[in-house]
Each structure stands twice: as C-alpha cells, then as structure tokens.
Chains A and B, each alone.
Chain A
Amino acid sequence: MSILTPLRGPQAVYALNPVAKLAAALLLSLTLVLSIDWVSAGVALALETVLFFWAGLGLRVFFLRTLPVLIAAPAAALTTVLYGRPAGQTYFQFALINVTDGSFELAFATLLRVLAIGLPAVVLFVTIDPTDLADGLAQVLHLPSRFVLGALAALRLVGLFLDDWRSLELARRARGVGDSGRIRRFASQGFALLVLSIRRGSKLATAMEARGFGSSIARTYARASVIGWREGVLVGLAIVVALVAVTVSVSTGHWNFIGSQG
C-alpha cells in the first residue's frame, strides 16, 4: 500500500471531495477539544458510529486502519487514571500515582474523546487520494498551483526514498563502515539520503519545467474538482453531530470549557 494509492471503492465516501472531508474532520475535532466532559464525546462517538456504517469501509479495513487510534485511546485513558487531577475518593496512591474518582471520570472522558476525534479523521483521511486533494486545494480553495502540484509530485518520491535508504544501508555495509554505532550510522546515512533526494528533486523539477510547469500561461485542470450536494451533506452531518453533542452536554450540565474549573 503506497502513500499514493489510497483505498478505492464504489461507495460515496471515496468520491467525496477531499476538501469537504478535511472541513468535516476539522469541524468535529475543533468542537470536541473545547470541552473534556464524557457526555459530549460520548454522544458524538455514538452518532459517528452510526455514520461509519455508511462509510463503505469493510470491518477488517476499518479496524486495521484505525488500530493506532484504538491503541492510543486506552493508553491515554490509563495515564489519566494514574496521573489525572485528583478529586473525590482516593482508591490507590503511590508516589505520583493517584487513582481517584476524578481521575477515573477524566480518563473515561479522554478515552471517548480520542475515539470521537480520531476515528472519523482516520475514516475520512484514508479514503483521500492525494491527487484529488491537490486538485481540490488548487481549484476549490485556490491555493497556488505551483505549491500544491510541486508538493504532490514530491510525494511520489517518497517511495523512491525508501528504496534509496535500503540501498544506502547495504552500501555502507559493503564499504566496511557498517559496524559503527546505530545512531552515528543513522545520522550519516540520513545526510546521504538528503543529498540523493535533493538531486532527485532537481531532476524532477527540470522534467516538470520541460513540460511547461511554472510558465506564465494560465493553467487548466484536466480533472474538475467540484463541491456538490454530497459534500454539503457531509459537512452538514459534521455540524449536526457537533451541535447535538454540545447541546446534550450543556443541557445535562457536563459541558466544561477546557481550562475552566469544573
């Protein structure tokens, strides 16, 4: 699975404009980081879970791709249990560790929050094709095409860097300098990779220039990047989820702005 060949499929989620996906994910996470109560995060997560069924990712793919989030969430919760701000009854205390009612509640809220922000972000991002994203950024958001397409072309070199890195490693062993410490080797090999990548980059730049990139002619786009009703629905859904989560939380009195004592 290369960085440039993302998941593809017939479902709507794949065809949605990446700019809308970015907007939806951003909207959700910005709303949810405002508070650290368990209610808003729980409501958002419940609503999102329903939506995931329409996302079109198979169960296996879903769990594989979201695995980092699924591991990170309990880990974050555990640390909060042990070190979270103490409140209420104390269950266990050792050195800095202080397990209390308050830290339990905080940990639960953290767990839900990491999931509620992380899962939709992953689901939306793994289905983004970098080429489509570049089209969207240049055509919908009108970012400079020079910058966007340059970055897109550079992305293609990432795969080549991996091959280069392996070859450099072997070459160092062959040249008799492969026995030195791991850190030192890593540093010098990193520098060699930098040199190689600059050379590759300048070759690519020449090739792009030869195809008229960077000329003064107004650029056209072979692929249209459009925002339609589907994109509207996605962003609308994100707004609804965020609003419901905040409303339930505020009305049940659990909402607390980050930083304020609650």
Chain B
Amino acid sequence: MLLLGASGAGKSTLISALAGVLGSSDEGEERGSLLVGGARPADARGRVGLLLQDPDSQVMLARVGDDVAFGCENLGVPRDEIWRRVGDALDAVGLHLPLSHPTSSLSGGQKQRLALAGVLAMQPQLLLLDEPTANLDPRGVVEVRDAVARVLEHSQATFVVIEHRVAIWQHLVNRVVVLAPGGGVLADGPPDDVLRTRGAALAAAGVWVPGHPPSRPLRAPRGAAAPAATPAAAPYAAPGGPADTAAPAATPHAPIRVSRLESDELNSASPLGSDRPHGAEPPLGVSGVGSAPLRAGGNRTGAAPLLIARDLAVARVKGTTVATGLTLDIEAGRATVITGPNGAGKSTLALTLAGLLAPAGDTPARTHPAGGQRGASDTPARTRLSGRAAAQPAGRALTASDAFAAGAGPHPIRWKSRELLTRIGTVFQDPEHQFLASTLRSELAVGPRALRLPQPQIDARVDELLDRLRLRALAEANPFTLSGGEKRRLSVATVLATRPGLLVLDEPTFGQDARTWAELVALLAELLDEGTALVAVTHDAEFVDALADAEFRMPGSLNRDGAV
C-alpha cells in the first residue's frame, strides 16, 4: 500500500502510530482506536517493523551483524535463532558483507538496506516504510527499492510506504491511499485508478506523480544579458526555440508551464541534451577548457568569469585530498551543475568554490591577475602529478576575478566572513546547519545585520523575502520547527538576503516535494536571469535539465584519477 497526501496531512504521524512509537499521552492527544493484529500497537511491537527516512539515525551498533541482531535481542529471540535470522535477513536485502563489517563505512543505500534487514529479522507482519529513499542518491533509491521488492516476493507481510515520488513504488503496491489535509481519507483504491482520478490534484499538492511533471520556468534567452551576443552561438537559439521570439525581453520570467514538446526542444538544443563528446580530453573541462560549445557560450557574455579554477585540488579535511585536476570557470548569469558518483568530492568542490574550504595544498596569498593563465594549465597529465606536491605554484587553484572580488583579493578562502556575504552565498545540504536565530525574521536579518545595513533596509529585505518565498505566515516561528520544504526555502532566503553575486547550492532538491521543487527552480531561474551565477551539486536529473548551462562531471575517485 502506498500512502500519499500533501505535506502536513499526517502521513508520518499515522505510520508512527501504527508502529507504536508515537509516545505516551503526555506528548499529545489521542482519540479513536487503532488495532494492529487485534492488539494496541504499543503491545504489538515486533509484529510491526518501521523503516525511517534518515540512514544515519537508524544504525545502532558498530558491526553489521550486531546491528541486524539488535531487534531480535529486544524481542527475546534465542541466540541460535537470532544468528539464523540475521543471515536470512541480510540475504533478503542483498547485503553480502561479513558480519563484523563496520557499519560506519556503509553508503546511504547500504545503511537503509541494513536497517531494513534489522526490521526483517524481527519477522514483522506489518512492514512500514516512511520515505525510506528521500535522503538517497538515485543509485541508493534503486538499491532499496529492489531490496524491498525481493523481500515482498518471499513474505506475507503487509507493506505500507510513504513516498513523495510515486514512480519508485508504483509497481510494487496494489493499493493507494490518499490522506486529506486536516483529516480523513481522500481516495483509496488500486494505483492506476487513484492516480488517474487524483493525479492532477496530487501533483498540485506536491506529490511526484508520473505524467504530471512539476512546472518548469522558462529561462530568459542567454543572449539577452550581453548586447554583443551573436544568435548563432547561443545554445538555446535553435530554430523554433523560444530564443527567436523572446530575444529582446530581458525581464525575469514568472514560472511558466512548459509543454513537454518545448522543453524537449530546449534540452536537445542545449549542450547538455546529449553526452558531450570530449574527444581526447579526459572528463574534466566544463566551460572554457575542453568543451567547444560551452566555451563559445562563455565568450558570448564577453565578461571575465567570476571564479577560475585551474587544476584545483580539494580536501574536506586538511591532508586528505578527495579530488584533483579540477578545471572550470564560473560565469555570471550561468548555472553550473556538479555531478558525479558519491564520494567523488562534489560537495567538497562546491564548498571550496564557495570560499569555505581552502584548496588542497594551498600556499600563502600571491597576486596573479585573473586572465592570462589559460595556456599554462592545459596539460592536465603533467599538472595533476605535481598537483599533489605540498606547495601549489601560482596559476593553479582558485582565483576570483578583480571585478568579483571588488577589492577583497583574488583568493575567496582569504575573504572575511562578512566579505563573503555579498559575493558568494552558500546553501548547505542540511538546512539545519546554517540556522542561527530563533525566529524566521531574525534568521533572515542575520546576513544584512552582519553587513551593518541600516535597520529600515534590513526590514525591507526581510519583508520582501518573506513574501517571495511564502514564509510570511511563519515569520515568528522557530526555523527548526519548519517542515522540510519550508526549511529549504528559508535556507535559500537567508542567503539571498545579502544579494550575493554567486550562489552555491549543495543538493538543493534532495527530498523535496514537487511543489517546493518547482518553486525553487523558478526562483533560481529568476536569479540567473538577473545575472547571478549559480553552482549546484546535484543528483537530480530533472534539476539539471531545467536549469543547467554547464555540467561539470567529477573525474571520479582519486585512485582512478591518479592512474592517468
């Protein structure tokens, strides 16, 4: 059974109630009755298995085998029986690892499968999954979905899943229940029937329904920003494309629903529509180096890039470099997406570009002009080898153009925290990491206040953002009490309050419902059209389709890279 409903309809509350983990009467009100297999859920523990959203908070013990055994121990299963069940459960979820394997080294998808095995070992009659794939990359989603499918084939258990993205589970369930916001059941029936009759309404409420894609913004034609643009070079100026008709209009667009046909045309006309053939070039260059169509795009604007990375090496923790030989330009009004497998260093690169992490092997500041280094770094094989040497010669690593730095120096990592505000804004993967204040209003004012803007101006900016991101009604709420989608909108709003020239986003669409997704993409498109540069780390193919002007694919793990 697939449980659907708008945000706040009570899906998670229902599932927690079924699992008997809703807490006691002093933590909330309880009315009506709920019986699981004829017993109260709190007494039916063990008969009900629950899998939650966050992979990190579901691993309890240090070793794979012990973690799976944990539930059985609590149920008082005899020792021999426990280890037999542990083996079966790990087989069922396809996790073929030694029992002593450390749980800390598992990927997100593996952790979720481990948690699923732990639940299965308890042999529940009712299996509850609360958005089990929301925090996973596409590969992890498939891993978990397939594991559940395999389990259902061999089990008689009743299966209930909550999920925003219908397509993942559509073919595994034989019943869909839609909860109404405010109480009650809106629809209940076979998947095809419910999705046919309720599809549009569900999509409007934020559910990802196949055949009802969220609306996508129409970007202003790229040429509009630069007077010297030649239509032939603009990637979107395909015959019949919107660029022909809309060229003079540089006004930001409100979100407009693009018909499937139009957006397909857009995609095929953009350099991202297909896997770009790089020729002999290893998969590193984005704009500028190594990819002809994008370089043409880069020259088109006529302005120098805001940031230039040349053979950059990045490290999250000093001394452990996660990626090397990264070469890319960040330009005003263009969206660069960073893609690649887990652990390739995408986030680390983004945080380095954002001036928050020092490039690996950084040396004291040296002034070198932003231009004039292109030729020097075009031999990746040579530079990559020396890139790992302790000292980093001038001309590599990360430099900001003089115009972008505006007097703060060429190295973003050496900018003061306050200087970063108007230049680079960073939206973190976990919004909770960046919240500082106790109300939304004061949260939004943190940046402008750090800039020492006059109070009336701060108020004006905060009010504008509250309206623009539909947060007005929550102005006095605590940021931590918001829903996932609201937190994401707030984290973007806090960054916009200081109007940075470059926006860096780490997985901005992770776990977001379709409505928040559409709003976010529309907002970002608007900012791009106004000339803001954008860097986004993402796994989200639709996000890439909708916004990206350039895609930077991470070269992969360092080992593979080092073998070049």
Task: Give A contacts to B, CB under 8 Å.
Answer: 2, 4-5, 129-131, 152-153, 156, 159-160, 164, 166-168, 170-179, 188, 192, 195-196, 199-200, 203-204, 206-215, 217-224
Chain A CB within 8 A of B63 CB? yes
The smallest beta-carbon distance between B354 and chain A, in angstroms, is 7
Name the B residues within 8 Å of A221 (CB-CB).
Answer: 73, 79
Mark out the residues of chain B between 410 and 442 whose CB falls within 8 Å of any chain A CB in the assembled complex.
416-418, 420-421, 424-426, 428, 430, 432-436
Name the B residues within 8 Å of A152 (CB-CB).
Answer: 61
**A176 B69 Cβ-Cβ under 8 A:** no
Chain A CB within 8 A of B309 CB? no
**A167 B417 Cβ-Cβ under 8 A:** no
Name the B residues within 8 Å of A178 (CB-CB).
Answer: 416-417
Please give me the residue from chain B that is nearest to A213 by CB atom: B74
**B52 A210 Cβ-Cβ under 8 A:** yes
Residue among A167, A176, A203 making CB contact with B430, cutoff 8 Å: A167
Q: State whether A179 and B416 are in contact (beta carbons under 8 Å apart), knowing that A173-B356, A195-B480, A210-B50 are contacts in the complex.
A: yes
Q: State whether A174 and B436 are in contact (beta carbons under 8 Å apart), knowing that A152-B61, A213-B70, A223-B66 are contacts in the complex.
A: no
Decide if the interface of chain A is mainly helix, strand, loop or mixed. helix
**B72 A174 Cβ-Cβ under 8 A:** no
Q: State whether A173 and B420 are in contact (beta carbons under 8 Å apart), knowing that A211-B70, A215-B45, A222-B72 are contacts in the complex.
A: yes
The 4 closest A-B pairs by CB, nearest first: A178-B417, A176-B450, A212-B74, A203-B57
Chain A CB within 8 A of B477 CB? no
**A-B contacts at CB below 8 angstroms, number:** 167
Q: State whether A175 and B446 are in contact (beta carbons under 8 Å apart), knowing that A156-B59, A160-B56 are contacts in the complex.
A: yes
Pull 27 A–B residue pairs with CB atoms less than 8 Å apart, ordered by A. Answer: A4-B62, A131-B66, A156-B103, A159-B104, A164-B433, A167-B430, A168-B433, A171-B434, A174-B417, A174-B424, A177-B446, A178-B416, A203-B57, A207-B50, A210-B49, A211-B118, A212-B122, A214-B74, A215-B46, A217-B74, A217-B76, A219-B76, A220-B72, A220-B73, A220-B82, A222-B65, A222-B86
**A5 B446 Cβ-Cβ under 8 A:** no
Chain A CB within 8 A of B301 CB? no
Please give me the residue from chain B that is nearest to A150 by CB atom: B60
| Interface size counted on chain B using CB atoms at 8 A | 70
Q: State whether A174 and B426 are in contact (beta carbons under 8 Å apart), knowing that A5-B104, A200-B57, A220-B82 are contacts in the complex.
A: yes
Interface 1/0 per residue, B517-534 and A, CB below 8 Å: 000000000000000000
Residue among A153, A210, A224 making CB contact with B19, cutoff 8 Å: A210
**B46 A222 Cβ-Cβ under 8 A:** no
Name the A residues within 8 Å of B46 (CB-CB).
Answer: 212, 215, 217
Instruction: Report Cα–Cα, A4/B105, bound state, in Å.
Output: 12
The smallest beta-carbon distance between B51 and chain A, in angstroms, is 8
**A131 B52 Cβ-Cβ under 8 A:** no
Please give me the residue from chain A that is nearest to B431 by CB atom: A171
The smallest beta-carbon distance between A171 and chain B, in angstroms, is 4
Instruction: Report Cα–Cα, A41/B122, bound state, in Å.
Output: 53
Beyond known contacts A211-B60, A220-B73: 19 more, CB 8 A cutoff: A4-B102, A131-B66, A159-B104, A170-B428, A171-B426, A171-B428, A174-B426, A174-B434, A175-B447, A176-B418, A176-B498, A177-B446, A177-B450, A178-B417, A199-B432, A204-B60, A211-B122, A212-B74, A217-B46
Name the B residues within 8 Å of A215 (CB-CB).
Answer: 45-46, 74-75
Please give me the residue from chain B that is nearest to A170 by CB atom: B356
**B52 A219 Cβ-Cβ under 8 A:** no
**B74 A222 Cβ-Cβ under 8 A:** no
The smallest beta-carbon distance between A157 and chain B, in angstroms, is 9
Please give me the residue from chain B that is nearest to A154 by CB atom: B60
Please give me the residue from chain B that is nearest to A176 by CB atom: B450
Please give me the residue from chain A that is nearest to B86 by CB atom: A222
